C-alpha cells in the first residue's frame, strides 16, 4: 500500500457472489503560503518547505541523490506517471498548466479560445488536486511574450481564481520570462493578477541581478526562480556567421552556482527556492546547451554545483573539468580538408578520462522560448581521435558545423565542450565600405545623405506609414519624420538599409563609421506613453556585407515633448554598418504615432 493513500472498499452483491472493487483516492498534501511581515515561506503539511528543484520529468533517483526535493513540469502530458514516480521518490511537483503563446498564433482577444484553454487547465486541477506530490500550480510559462496587453494577465488571473476555488490547498503561480524592462511584468501581475500567489521567474543572463531588481520593484508577492542555468543562446556571443558560442559544461556549472547564490540564497525571505534547468537533456540550439545530464543519465558539472548548494556538502567524486576546443582556424575551412583539434581536460580526483569526439551539422538556430527542435545530424566517422587530440575530416558540403568533445571519468561524471566551425573555402574579396566624415547625419534638414534608404518595412507592413518630410513641429529645421502604426495589435517597423532592400547582406554597401562614439536622435510621441524600440545593425549572418556591430534601445517610453536619445558605439566595430537606423513597436491596443528628428552618428570630444 502506498503511503498517504486511503482505499475505499465497496462491497457489492452480484449474482449471489461477493465482489470487491478497490477505488483508490488520494490523501493530498496541504501547502500553505505563509506571510509574516515581509517574510514568506511555504508550509507543506505544516512543516517549512524550501524548493530545491529542477525542471524535468525523468531521472528522479539521481535528483534525490543530489539533494533535490522537487521537479517542475510545463504541462500535464504524462502527468500520472510523473506524479507516481515523484511520490515514490519523495519529490514534490510544480504542475505546469500550459498556456498558449501569441507568437504561436493564439489570440487572447478570442473569448471562446480563452475559455476553452481555461477549462482544459481546470480539468487537470480537478483530476490531480488531491495527489500528495502536488506542490503548486504553475499557470503558464512565458505566455506573455513581448506583449504589454492586459488581456493575457486577465486570462491568467481568471484561471488562478478558479483554481483557488477548486483547490484551496495548493498555491497558484505564473511563470514569466525575466522581469521585463523596468520590471513592467511585475507591475502587470500586481495590477491584474490578485489571485496569483507566487511569481515564477525564468532568468539566465540576468540572474545575478534578479533579487536586487525584484526588491526595487516592491512586488507584494514572493517568487521562485523557475528556470536558471547557463547564459542563454539568445544572450551569448555569436560567431561571424551567426552561430551561438556555447560555454563549456565546466563554465556552466559556475553559472548555475552563481545564479543560485545571487537570486535564491541572497533573498531567503522573499524567494521560496528554485528549479534549475534542465534535469535531463534536449536539443535547444545545441544538444548540450541546457541539459544537466547526458542522454544516458551521466551527470555534468551543473549537477555537482547544485548538489553542493542543496546539501551543503561537496560531491564525493566530481565531474571532469574541460576547456574550450582549440583549433588553428574555425572558418574559411576548405571542403574535404583535414582539421586538427585538441582540448585540455582534468579530473579533480585524478580518474582516468575517456574521450568521445563527434561532428554535427549546425543549423545556426537560436533557441527561443523552449520551442522543440530536431536534433542536428551527426556525421559518422568524421573524427578520428587519440584522447584529447583529434583529426576532423571536413565534409565536402559547405556549411556550418559543430565539433563536440565529451570527457568521461568512469564514475558517472562527464564534461563536454563544442566549437562552431564554418566550411566555406578561402575568403572572397570584399569591397570595403566607404568612410564618411563625422558627424554623419542619417536624417536631418542640415545634410542630405544618399547611403541609407528607409526601405525595410517589417512585420505588419501594411499598417506602417511614414512621412519623411512632415512639416509640423520639427525638432530642428523645417521637417521631421512622422511614423504611424495604424493597427491595434501585432507589430511593425522600418529599417534604414544600404542598399535599399538588402535583407541578407549579399550586396556591397553601408558606411564605415569608425570613430563614432554614439548614435544620437530626437523623438517624441503624439500623446506621450508610446513604447518604441530603436536599433542599428541587424544583419548578423555570415554574408560578406553584413553589419559589423549592432545596438538597441528597447521599450523606450516616449514623452509628448522632444527628447534626446543615444545608443553608445564605444568599442564597437563600425567598419561596415549596413543598417543605419530602425524602429519597431508592438501593437498597443490603438494606433500609434510618433516623431523622430536629427539622427546623427557623432564623435564625442
Q: Across residues 411-424, what is the average pLDDT? A: 97
Least confident of 212-216, 357-361, 501-505, 596-600: 501-505
371 band by pLDDT with thresholds 50, 70 and 90:
confident
Instruction: Give the chain's mean pLDDT.
Output: 92
Encode burial over 308-340: b for 16+ CB neighbours within 10 A, e otherwise: bbbeeeebeebbbbbbbbebeebbebeeeeebe
Q: Is the pLDDT assigned to residue 121 strictly greater than 90?
A: yes
Cell 547544485 belongs to 306
Q: Would you say 176 and 192 are in contact if contact means Cβ atoms under 8 Å apart? A: no
425 band by pLDDT with thresholds 50, 70 and 90:
confident
Concatenated DSSP letters for 56-92? -SS-HHHHHHHT--EEE-SS-TTHHHHHHHHHHTT-E
Q: For residues 302 and 253, what is the distance between their CA atoms, to the nearest angstrom? A: 4
Distance of CA 417 to the CA centre of its chain: 21
The pLDDT of residue 23 is 30
Looking at the DSSP bridge assignments, the partners of residue 326 are 342
Least confident of 89-93, 110-114, 291-295, 503-507: 503-507
The pLDDT of residue 597 is 97
Q: Is the pLDDT assigned to residue 12 strictly greater than 60?
A: no
Region at 464 (left for phi over 0; alpha for psi -120 to 50; beta for the rest): beta
Region at 555 (left for phi over 0; alpha for psi -120 to 50; beta for the rest): left
pLDDT exceeding 90 applies to what percent of the chain?
86
Q: Across residues 464-476, what is the average pLDDT? A: 95
Number of neighbouring beta carbons within 10 Å of residue 449 = 17
The pLDDT of residue 447 is 67
Q: What residues contact 309, with CB distance under 8 A and at least 6 apart?
A: 257, 260, 261, 265
Q: Is the pLDDT assigned to residue 5 strictly greater than 90?
A: no
Least confident of 100-109, 209-218, 241-250, 278-287: 100-109
Q: Across residues 19-33, what is the average pLDDT? A: 59
Q: Give me 480's grid cell.
A: 521631421
Encode burial over 361-384: b for 16+ CB neighbours within 10 A, e otherwise: bbbbbbbeebeebeebeebeebbe
Q: For residues 419 and 402, what is the distance between their CA atoms, to the nearest angstrom? A: 6
The pLDDT of residue 604 is 83
372 band by pLDDT with thresholds 50, 70 and 90:
confident
Q: Is the pLDDT assigned to residue 549 strictly greater than 50?
A: yes
Task: Evaluate if pTM is beyond 0.85.
Answer: no
Q: What residues contact 539, with CB distance under 8 A and at least 6 apart?
A: 503, 504, 505, 545, 546, 547, 578, 579
Q: Is the pLDDT assigned to residue 2 strictly greater than 60?
A: no
Least confident of 5-9, 40-44, 440-444: 5-9
Least confident of 100-104, 352-356, 522-526, 545-549: 100-104
Q: How far from 458 is each of 198, 399, 463, 508, CA to CA, in Å? A: 37, 28, 10, 22
Q: For residues 396 and 466, what is the distance between their CA atoms, to the nearest angstrom? A: 48
Least confident of 18-22, 256-260, 277-281: 18-22
Amino acid at each position: 500500500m502506498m503511503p498517504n493513500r486511503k482505499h475505499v472498499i465497496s462491497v457489492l452483491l452480484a449474482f449471489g457472489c461477493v465482489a470487491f472493487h478497490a477505488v483508490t483516492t488520494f490523501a493530498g498534501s496541504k501547502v500553505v503560503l505563509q506571510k509574516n511581515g515581509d517574510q514568506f515561506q511555504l508550509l507543506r503539511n505544516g512543516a517549512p518547505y524550501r524548493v530545491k528543484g529542477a525542471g524535468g520529468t525523468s531521472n528522479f533517483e539521481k535528483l534525490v541523490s543530489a539533494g533535490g526535493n522537487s521537479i517542475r513540469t510545463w504541462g500535464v502530458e504524462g502527468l500520472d506517471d510523473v506524479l507516481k514516480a515523484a511520490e515514490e521518490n519523495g519529490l514534490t511537483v510544480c504542475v505546469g498548466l500550459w498556456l498558449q503563446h501569441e507568437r504561436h498564433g493564439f489570440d487572447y482577444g478570442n473569448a471562446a479560445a480563452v475559455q476553452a484553454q481555461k477549462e482544459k487547465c481546470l480539468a487537470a486541477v480537478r483530476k490531480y488536486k488531491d495527489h500528495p506530490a502536488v506542490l503548486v500550480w504553475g499557470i503558464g510559462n512565458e505566455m506573455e511574450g513581448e506583449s504589454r496587453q492586459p488581456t493575457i494577465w486577465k486570462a491568467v488571473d481568471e484561471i488562478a481564481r478558479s483554481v483557488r476555488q477548486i483547490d484551496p490547498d495548493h498555491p497558484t503561480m505564473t511563470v514569466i520570462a525575466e522581469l521585463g524592462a523596468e520590471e513592467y511584468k511585475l507591475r502587470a501581475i500586481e495590477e491584474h493578477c490578485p489571485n496569483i500567489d507566487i511569481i515564477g521567474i525564468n532568468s539566465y543572463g540576468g540572474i545575478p541581478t534578479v533579487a536586487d531588481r525584484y526588491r526595487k520593484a516592491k512586488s507584494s508577492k514572493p517568487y521562485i526562480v523557475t528556470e536558471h542555468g547557463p547564459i542563454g543562446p539568445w544572450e551569448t556571443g555569436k560567431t561571424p556567421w551567426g552561430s551561438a558560442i556555447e560555454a563549456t559544461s565546466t563554465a556552466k556549472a559556475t553559472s548555475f552556482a552563481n545564479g543560485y547564490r545571487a537570486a535564491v540564497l541572497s533573498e531567503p525571505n522573499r524567494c521560496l527556492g528554485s528549479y534549475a534547468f534542465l534535469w535531463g537533456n534536449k536539443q535547444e540550439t545545441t544538444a548540450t546547451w541546457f541539459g544537466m545530464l547526458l542522454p544516458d543519465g551521466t551527470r555534468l558539472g551543473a549537477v555537482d554545483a547544485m548538489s553542493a548548494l542543496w546539501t551543503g556538502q561537496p560531491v564525493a567524486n566530481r565531474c571532469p573539468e574541460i576547456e574550450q576546443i582549440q583549433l588553428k582556424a574555425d572558418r574559411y575551412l576548405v571542403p574535404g580538408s583535414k582539421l586538427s583539434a585538441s582540448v585540455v581536460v582534468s579530473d579533480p580526483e585524478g580518474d582516468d578520462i575517456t574521450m568521445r569526439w563527434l561532428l554535427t551539422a549546425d543549423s545556426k538556430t537560436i533557441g527561443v522560448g523552449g520551442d522543440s527542435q530536431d536534433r542536428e545530424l551527426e556525421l559518422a566517422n568524421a573524427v578520428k581521435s587519440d584522447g584529447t587530440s583529434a583529426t576532423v575530416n571536413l565534409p565536402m558540403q559547405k556549411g556550418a558545423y559543430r565539433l563536440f568533445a565529451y570527457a568521461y571519468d568512469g564514475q558517472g561524471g562527464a564534461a563536454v565542450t563544442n566549437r562552431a566551425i564554418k566550411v566555406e573555402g578561402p575568403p572572397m574579396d570584399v569591397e570595403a565600405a566607404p568612410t564618411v566624415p563625422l558627424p554623419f547625419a542619417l536624417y536631418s534638414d542640415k545634410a542630405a545623405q544618399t547611403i541609407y534608404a528607409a526601405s525595410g518595412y517589417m512585420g505588419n507592413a501594411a499598417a506602417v506609414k511614414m512621412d519623411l518630410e512632415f512639416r509640423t513641429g520639427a525638432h530642428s529645421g523645417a521637417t521631421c519624420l512622422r511614423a504611424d502604426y495604424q493597427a491595434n495589435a501585432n507589430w511593425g517597423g522600418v529599417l534604414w538599409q544600404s542598399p535599399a532592400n538588402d535583407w541578407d547582406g549579399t550586396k556591397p554597401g553601408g558606411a564605415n563609421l569608425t570613430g563614432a562614439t554614439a548614435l544620437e536622435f530626437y523623438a517624441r510621441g503624439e500623446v506621450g506613453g508610446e513604447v518604441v524600440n530603436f536599433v542599428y545593425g541587424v544583419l548578423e549572418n555570415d554574408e560578406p556585407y553584413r553589419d559589423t556591430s549592432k545596438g538597441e534601445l528597447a521599450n523606450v517610453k516616449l514623452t509628448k515633448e522632444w527628447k534626446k536619445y543615444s545608443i553608445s558605439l564605444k568599442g564597437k566595430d563600425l567598419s561596415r554598418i549596413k543598417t543605419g537606423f530602425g524602429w519597431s513597436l508592438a501593437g498597443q491596443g490603438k494606433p500609434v504615432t510618433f516623431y523622430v528628428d536629427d539622427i546623427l552618428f557623432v564623435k564625442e570630444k
